[in-house]
Structure 1
Amino acid sequence: MLTQLSIRNVVLIEKLDLFFNRGLTVFTGETGAGKSILLDSLGLALGERASSSLVRVGTNQATVTACFEIPLSHPIYKQLEEQGFEASDLADAALVIRRIIAADGRSRAYINDQPVSLSFLKEISQNLVEMQGQHEQVGLMDPRGHLSILDNFGVSTTLLQKIKLLYSKWIEATAKLSALKATIEATAHEEEWLRESVEELKQLAPQGDEELDLVEKRKNLQQDERRQEALTSALTILSPQDRRAFQPAQALLNASKSLQKLLPSSFDEQTELSSTDQAVQEALEAIIRSEEALGEAENILNHIINDIQLDPQLLDDIEERLFTLRAAGRKYGVNIDELSSLLQDFETRLLNLDLGNHQIQELEQEVATCRAAFEEAAEKLSADRQKIAKKLETAITQELTPLKLDRAKFFVSITPLSSDAWNHTGKDQVQFLIATNPGVPPAPLNKAASGGELSRLLLALKVVLSQQSTLSALVFDEIDSGVGGSTATAIGDRLHRVAQNLQVFVVTHSPQVAASGDTQLKISKTIEKGVTLTHTKQLSAEERREEIARMLAGNHVTDAARAAADSLLHRSN
């Protein structure tokens, strides 16, 4: 049960601490006093969407704290343990939820002072409190929500999970089959082009990183070619075919001949040369050394040229290979290095085409198997729903009697969906019908029920469904809207009976419903120093009498109104 709700700086509420007991708690007050703010605050604690507009003007943040006493057998504790909560943190069967909303709209959530995600908070809150707003009367008229209501009443969760899984497998297999058929159809359309491309690329035999290797080889060969040209040119100068064209060598030769003429034709070691002859001899020896150096240079150059193994055809082959690869790359719209992987892709596509028909047969069999399994489970689910529908019809109809709808009968219509509308919930379409009077055929709720009847039908649904749930509390926002008199009294009585087993909170403008409460809190609005604030007060017995009298008579409370209030309170007690 919800034991405490603390609110700080939410819209008109500056500071509010509410303590709750078991049974039926009613909230009353003038229109606009702040009852909706109270429900919004509780909604924040349960994970509803936050907004900066909820933060009271002039403050940095709003805070809502909700305290629950939950038996340790409650399934919520398993959820908390799966989320990483330690058993020691949950041993006292107390659960404290705190939600903080900053002025910029950002929010944080905590459970027992441990931070949790908003999605997880909403998930566990579904097992704690169910809030019933006025708009759900309209939602009840929408048949799209009727299936889930029926399933929640007692349809096997194992079967529901199984049908969801089988439908998912069937859809997945169908999607694979469709994708394969589309791929094969597209591939078959370009089969001839693919085969020609594969043959062309196989002949080309592209390799990964081949372009870089070829460019490097071409660069080296071009450098060798330029080196050989330079060496050959130098050698030609040193050793021309026409020796007369080599002026330095010819000059050395001519100088040598001339100098030899200046020396004596014969002389021995004892023959003393003149100083001039000695100089001529030295010049002649220098010329001879120069001739030897030229010969040595010629030999070195010949050796280097012989070492360079220049293959002009290899360079041509590399140039041709690069040209062919680049042409193929432009043709297929890829880089040269991607040609090899492109070939593999083309071969895979052709292989898929060749294997496609066999794969299609396998997938078609898989789809048929998955569909058959889904249909079999869906038939069991439909049969289960038919049984549960009868129980729901009986339970709701029984609840309508104390709500002054004793002549009405509630029906659950289950019709099969067309095969193209089957989904993860099975193949059933569920719609709630009601016959408000004997002899009148059942009709959809939006055609047969008035606003007051919808309110009571909704209450009957909540009462019946709550018996199958693990909820700690039910919250109703003006469930008595559109009704009055004995009908409102009947609603109050039913709420009070439900509250014997389940904590119930009701926001009401009906004095009959208010009188049915075990506890009554009055919500009021005051202006203090120019600031509007909302307050809540738990009423004493005398204060309850005055408040219910006000609800009966308006602002001018009479003794007759007080007497009527006494009558309502006495009846409820």
Structure 2
Amino acid sequence: MLLSLAIRDIVLIETLDLEFGPADGLGVLTGETGAGKSILLDSLGLASGGRAERGLVREGARQGSVVALFDLPAGHPVFDLLDAQDIARDDVLVLRRVVGADGRSRAYVNDQPVGTGLLRRIGDLLVDIHGQHDARGLLDPAMHRELLDLYGGLESEVLAVRAAHAGWRSAADALVRLEGEVGQAQREELYWRQMHQELADLAPQGGEEVELADARARLMNREKLVEAVQESLEALQGGQGASGKLAGIERRLGRVEEMAADLLSPAREATERALVECQEAVDALERAARELVGPGRDLEQIEERLFALRAAARKYRIDVDGLPGLLAETSDRLSVLDAGAERTEAAAAAERAARASFEEAARVLSSGRMAAAADLSRAVVGELPPLKLERARIEVALEPLPEDEWGPDGAERVRLMAAMNPGQTPASLAKVASGGELSRLMLALKVVLAGTGNATTIMVFDEIDAGVGGATADAVGERLARLAADRQVLVVTHAPQIAARADQHWRVSKAVEGERTRVTVEPLDDGAERREEVARMLAGAEVTAEARAAADSLIRRSA
């Protein structure tokens, strides 16, 4: 429910704090014409995402603001929206809108800055505002399909259509991608086959360029390398080479080591290690000598291979090390091409099956919608005679969509249509009636749809009684009271028949203080104050004893 509304510097309101309750019930705002009643509804609309304009800010003020507090049940759908946006939940939901004198606005939800688009989405789940010139709620064609589905209890059918449509789109997208890949491969088939053959013949290996370059460098300097190796071996192994000298030293130290106790042991151990290292150097040099002088590719072969790899890399504008990857890519492309027809047919079959599933789900949903549309039309028409709309009729039109407009919500467009007089062709709701007729028509729709689970937290009606009185106004009041039996309803009215049914009643008045005009809102008690206001609405400028008696009777009868 809406707990409170705090308004600061909006139009003629400088400071106003309104408390609302109980959770369900009919709240009524009354007052003279021009007293400022609609400012309150404009403020609530602003807090719930309505359009912000500089004209809303009170003259002379730097900015205006509205804060609306809501107490919501645990399962309210607004919480899913808050969770999706990572907005923290509190005990109450706080919507705040600030409008500057320049017309720019800022929006907050639970003190977290949000975009006005998100604020409006939240507001649409909380507040259903309807005035004679307001297109929110049921006048929005986008809502008609959802309302029909809710009225018909078609939630499971809708979910089935959405799932089938998602599967169909996924299969169709996969088919398009595959057809594109195969088509591209076919257009470039000769190029890719030539490339693959050339690379397959070349058979590049990872790291091969570095290996060949190193081998080429060795072969180009082989004579010098062989000479250096041989000289090194001679120095290590010759008669007076390092190995022989170290071996002689080790023998001499071994013969006298015992005579010197431990004095020569470190020297002998070091000599043994040097002898071992020397032998390892000899072994490494002998291996190098065998590789340098042994059989293998000659310099010309290595250079030819290296030049062939580098030429291919230049041709395809990649590094030599990228050639193996390019070969793998060509293999993949040719595999797509070779298996293209088979894969494409399998994907096409999957798309056809998914489409058939969607069409069947959409057919079931359409059948349910047709039945629900007839029931909804009859139910609304049954509400119209007491509202002085006995000549009007309502149609729920199902317009088949072309295939390219089929979507997750089915294969037809749903529109609520109305004709206000016999012989008149039904047209969209916003075009067929005067403001008063449209307000009563919308009330009938809201009464019928009240049990669909689509109820917002608070319903707001601005002068829904315009152009009616007597029994018609009483019928409007009776229906508003029915709506308010299980939800919060707020009404701006001039009809005493409606005011008499109020669970909460506020009187709005306007006063001029010096050169400033101010709007005040006064809650009325259930006794004399309320009777006096209803009597004023009945009598006009002068409230008589007869008017007060009539007000008492009207309030008792409406209780």
- TM superposition score normalised by structure 1: 0.68
- Aligned residue type for 1:107: Y
What SS class does the counterpart of residue 309 from structure 1 fall into?
helix
Moved more, 508-517 or 151-160: 508-517
What SS class does the counterpart of residue 423 from structure 1 fall into?
coil
Report the Cα distance in structure 2 between the residues aligned to 1:347 and 1:416, rounded to whole angstroms: 48
CA gap of 1:209–1:181, structure 2 versus 1, over 3 A, is same
Deviation at 1:464, TM superposition (A): 1.4
Match of 2:362 in 1: 378
Computing the radius of gyration from Cα coordinates, the structure with the larger value is 1
- Aligned residue type for 2:28: V
**Deviation per CA, 1:314-362, whole angstroms, max 9, x where unpaired?**
5554544443333323322333322222221111111011111111211
- Aligned residue type for 1:205: A
What SS class does the counterpart of residue 502 from structure 2 fall into?
coil
Deviation at 1:392, TM superposition (A): 0.6
Would the aligned equivalents of 1:27 and 1:35 in 2 still touch at CA under 8 Å? Answer: no
Match of 2:6 in 1: 7
Match of 1:559 in 2: 542
Stretches of structure 1 lacking an aligned partner (at least 5 in a row): 85-89, 235-302
Deviation at 1:496, TM superposition (A): 2.5
CA gap of 1:569–1:393, structure 2 versus 1, over 3 A, is farther
CA gap of 1:569–1:462, structure 2 versus 1, over 3 A, is farther
Deviation at 1:157, TM superposition (A): 0.6
Report the Cα distance in structure 1 between the residues aligned to 2:149 and 2:537, rounded to whole angstroms: 40
Would the aligned equivalents of 2:222 and 2:292 in 1 still touch at CA under 8 Å? Answer: no
Choose from 480, 489, 499 the match for 2:484. Answer: 499
Deviation at 1:183, TM superposition (A): 1.5
- 1:522 is aligned to 2:507: yes
Choose from 183, 186, 196 the match for 1:185. Answer: 183
Report the Cα distance in structure 1 between the residues aligned to 2:431 and 2:41, rounded to whole angstroms: 34
- Aligned residue type for 2:410: G
Deviation at 1:106, TM superposition (A): 6.0
Match of 2:93 in 1: 97
Deviation at 1:49, TM superposition (A): 7.7
- Aligned residue type for 2:193: R
Would the aligned equivalents of 2:418 and 2:432 in 1 still touch at CA under 8 Å? Answer: yes
Would the aligned equivalents of 2:447 and 2:482 in 1 still touch at CA under 8 Å? Answer: no
Match of 1:339 in 2: 323
**Deviation per CA, 1:453-492, whole angstroms, max 9, x where unpaired?**
2222111111211222163643224152753434555433
Report the Cα distance in structure 1 between the residues aligned to 2:64 and 2:134, rounded to whole angstroms: 34
**Aligned residue runs from structure 1 range 42-441, under 5 A:** 44=47, 48=49, 63-68=67-72, 70=73, 75-76=75-76, 96-99=92-95, 105=106, 107-109=108-110, 129-132=127-130, 136-137=134-135, 143-215=141-213, 217-218=215-216, 224=221, 309=292, 314-438=298-422, 440=424
Would the aligned equivalents of 1:99 and 1:107 in 2 still touch at CA under 8 Å? Answer: yes
CA gap of 1:188–1:542, structure 2 versus 1, over 3 A, is same
Deviation at 1:374, TM superposition (A): 1.5
Deviation at 1:65, TM superposition (A): 2.7
Report the Cα distance in structure 2 between the residues aligned to 1:216 and 1:562, rounded to whole angstroms: 118
Report the Cα distance in structure 2 between the residues aligned to 1:362 and 1:167, rounded to whole angstroms: 19
Deviation at 1:194, TM superposition (A): 0.8
Moved more, 515-524 or 362-371: 515-524
Moved more, 418-427 or 530-539: 530-539
Deviation at 1:143, TM superposition (A): 4.8
Would the aligned equivalents of 2:77 and 2:125 in 1 still touch at CA under 8 Å? Answer: no
Report the Cα distance in structure 2 between the residues aligned to 1:19 and 1:159, rounded to whole angstroms: 39
Report the Cα distance in structure 2 between the residues aligned to 1:394 and 1:550, rounded to whole angstroms: 39
Choose from 25, 28, 43 the match for 1:26. Answer: 28
What SS class does the counterpart of residue 467 from structure 1 fall into?
helix
Moved more, 439-448 or 502-511: 439-448
Deviation at 1:108, TM superposition (A): 4.3
Deviation at 1:428, TM superposition (A): 2.2
- Aligned residue type for 2:402: S
Report the Cα distance in structure 2 between the residues aligned to 1:64 and 1:139, rounded to whole angstroms: 19
The size of the alignment, in residue pairs, is 483
Would the aligned equivalents of 1:109 and 1:121 in 2 still touch at CA under 8 Å? Answer: no
Deviation at 1:130, TM superposition (A): 3.5
Report the Cα distance in structure 2 between the residues aligned to 1:377 and 1:477, rounded to whole angstroms: 38
Report the Cα distance in structure 1 between the residues aligned to 2:315 and 2:400, rounded to whole angstroms: 57
Would the aligned equivalents of 2:162 and 2:409 in 1 still touch at CA under 8 Å? Answer: yes
CA gap of 1:506–1:117, structure 2 versus 1, over 3 A, is same
CA gap of 1:315–1:107, structure 2 versus 1, over 3 A, is farther
**Deviation per CA, 1:522-562, whole angstroms, max 9, x where unpaired?**
34567899998764321245555665677789xxx621699
What SS class does the counterpart of residue 195 from structure 2 fall into?
helix
**Aligned residue runs from structure 1 range 413-562, under 5 A:** 413-438=397-422, 440=424, 442-445=426-429, 448-469=432-453, 471=455, 473-478=457-462, 480=464, 483-486=467-470, 487-508=472-493, 513-523=498-508, 535-540=520-525, 542-544=528-530, 558-559=541-542
Moved more, 410-419 or 29-38: 29-38
What SS class does the counterpart of residue 483 from structure 1 fall into?
coil
Deviation at 1:373, TM superposition (A): 1.4
Report the Cα distance in structure 2 between the residues aligned to 1:315 and 1:545, rounded to whole angstroms: 116
Deviation at 1:429, TM superposition (A): 2.9
Deviation at 1:364, TM superposition (A): 1.6
- Aligned residue type for 1:179: R
CA gap of 1:218–1:440, structure 2 versus 1, over 3 A, is same
Match of 1:253 in 2: none
CA gap of 1:197–1:434, structure 2 versus 1, over 3 A, is same
CA gap of 1:20–1:206, structure 2 versus 1, over 3 A, is same
Match of 1:16 in 2: 17
What SS class does the counterpart of residue 110 from structure 2 fall into?
strand
Report the Cα distance in structure 2 between the residues aligned to 1:333 and 1:49, rounded to whole angstroms: 59
CA gap of 1:358–1:75, structure 2 versus 1, over 3 A, is same
Report the Cα distance in structure 2 between the residues aligned to 1:475 and 1:418, rounded to whole angstroms: 36
Match of 1:571 in 2: 554
Deviation at 1:441, TM superposition (A): 5.3
**Deviation per CA, 1:148-190, whole angstroms, max 9, x where unpaired?**
2211212321110001110111121112112211221111111
CA gap of 1:10–1:462, structure 2 versus 1, over 3 A, is farther
Report the Cα distance in structure 1 between the residues aligned to 2:324 and 2:395, rounded to whole angstroms: 69
Report the Cα distance in structure 1 between the residues aligned to 2:217 and 2:35, rounded to whole angstroms: 88
What SS class does the counterpart of residue 20 from structure 1 fall into?
coil
Would the aligned equivalents of 1:397 and 1:410 in 2 still touch at CA under 8 Å? Answer: yes
**Deviation per CA, 1:477-527, whole angstroms, max 9, x where unpaired?**
415275343455543332123223432112345565445433222345678
Moved more, 457-466 or 309-318: 309-318
- Aligned residue type for 1:5: S
Would the aligned equivalents of 1:137 and 1:458 in 2 still touch at CA under 8 Å? Answer: no
Would the aligned equivalents of 1:76 and 1:124 in 2 still touch at CA under 8 Å? Answer: no
CA gap of 1:209–1:488, structure 2 versus 1, over 3 A, is farther
Deviation at 1:208, TM superposition (A): 3.2
What SS class does the counterpart of residue 382 from structure 2 fall into?
helix
Stretches of structure 2 lacking an aligned partner (at least 5 in a row): 100-104, 232-285
- TM superposition score normalised by structure 2: 0.70
CA gap of 1:565–1:421, structure 2 versus 1, over 3 A, is farther
